[in-house]
Amino acid sequence: MDGKTLARDAQLTRRQLKLAAQKEFNHAGYFFTDTNKIARRAGYTPASFYRHFKDKTDVFIAVYRDWHHEQMNVLEKTLHEGSDARALSELHQKWRCFRASARVLAISEERVRAYRQTRLAEQIDAILDVRKRLGFPRKKAHEVVTFLIELERLCDAIADGEYRLFGISVETSLHELKTLLGRFLAS
C-alpha cells in the first residue's frame, strides 16, 4: 500500500468515526456514550479510535464543527430568503440530543467552551456580512449575540417540546420563531 492510499484510508476512517460519534451523540448524548461505542458503531476496534482522536471531547468538537457548518448554511439561507423558521426548527430537532450535550459542555468543558466562543465570533461576522449584502442597517456585535442566543434557545425549546408542554402548537411556536427572525431582519 502506498502513502496516498494510507492517507486516504486514514481520512475515511476519521470521517466514519466522526459520523458514528455524531450518531451516538444525537442518540445517547455525550455523557451516555463512550469511545468504545463510537468505534464499534463505525465498525472499528476501540484502539482505532485513539489513532484519529485524542479523546471523546476531541471527537465531540469535530462533530461540533459539522453542526456549526450546517447551522450557518441554514441560518444564512434563512436570512437571505426571509425567515424560513421551519428549516431552523428541523435542524435543531435533528441535532437535539447533541445540542443538549453542547449546552452543558460549553459550561463545564474548557475546550468546548473555547471552541463555541470562536464559532460564535465567526457567526457574528457572517451575520453582519449577510445583513450588509442584503442592504440592512449595521448591527452592533452585542445585538447579534443577543439574537443568536434568543434564536438558539427558541429553536432548542421547540425541538425539546417545551411549547407542547404548555399546550402550544408547533405552528404557533414556529410563528414565534418567524417573528424573532423578522424582527432581527427588520431592525
d(CA 178, CA 171): 10
**CATH ID of 3-53, from 1.10.3470, 1.20.1630, 3.30.2290, 1.10.10:** 1.10.10
What pLDDT does 184 receive? 85
What pLDDT does 79 receive? 80
Cβ neighbours around 19 below 10 Å, total: 15
Which has the closest alpha carbon to 95: 119, 114, 71? 71
Q: Give me the residue spans of the domains in the chain.
A: 3-53, 57-186
- With a CB cutoff of 8 Å and minimum separation 6, the contacts of 80 are 130, 134
HSE-CB at 78 with a 13 A cutoff on CA atoms is 26
What pLDDT does 14 receive? 95
What pLDDT does 1 receive? 52
d(CA 158, CA 101): 16
What pLDDT does 112 receive? 97
What pLDDT does 5 receive? 46
Q: Which helix (DSSP H) or strand (DSSP E) does residue 162 occupy?
A: helix 162-165
Query: What is 57-186's CATH topology?
Result: Tetracycline Repressor; domain 2 (1.10.357)
Cα 26–chain centre separation: 11
User: Which amino acid appears at position 108 of this protein?
Assistant: S
d(CA 27, CA 13): 21
What pLDDT does 6 receive? 43
Decide if 3-53 and 57-186 have a common fold: no
d(CA 16, CA 10): 10
Residues of the chain short of pLDDT 70, as ranges, are 1-8, 82-83
What pLDDT does 83 receive? 55
